[in-house]
Amino acid sequence: GAVVSQHPSWVICKSGTSVKIECRSLDFQATTMFWYRQFPKQSLMLMATSNEGSKATYEQGVEKDKFLINHASLTLSTLTVTSAHPEDSSFYICSARDRRSLRSGANVLTFGAGSRLTVL
């Protein structure tokens, strides 16, 4: 089945630094990837939709200059948290949609294992 790899699984950084999180689809091509944020004991909050070869679409209230998204290829999307602050500490999860599932009429997302960010 479809596999999404997310790296790093956890990262600790100092306030003011930038952190990059990678999301790769290992055995399929993904024209669209999604980035979510999850707070403890809460559901997934969609941050942005990453489209290969074009600008990401951000959800209302998400700062695009704070959370930079790049989807340079059909298998890789990156999320960069710029000038991170303690309030950015969270669990970030990416997901991808297999193009083959779209052709079959399905709409199944495969999730990465998540990246836990702690900003000191």
Partner 1 sequence: QKEVEQDPGPLSVPEGAIVSLNCTYSNSAFQYFMWYRQYSRKGPELLMYTYSSGNKEDGRFTAQVDKSSKYISLFIRDSQPSDSATYLCAMSVGTYKYIFGTGTRLKVLA
Closer residue to partner 1 in complex, CB, 2/82? 2
Identify residues 7-36 at the interface with partner 1 (CB under 8 A).
34
Assign 21 to helix, strand or coil: strand
The gap from C-alpha 50 to its chain's centroid, in whole angstroms, comes to 8
78's tokens = 């990156």
Residues 50-89 that bind partner 1 (CB under 8 A): none
Sign of torsion over alpha carbons 103, 47, 77, 24: negative
Q: What's the min distance (Å) between Cβ of 85 and partner 1?
A: 22
Q: What residue ranges bind partner 1 (CB under 8 A)?
A: 4, 6, 34, 41-44, 46, 49, 91, 93, 95, 97, 102, 105-114, 116
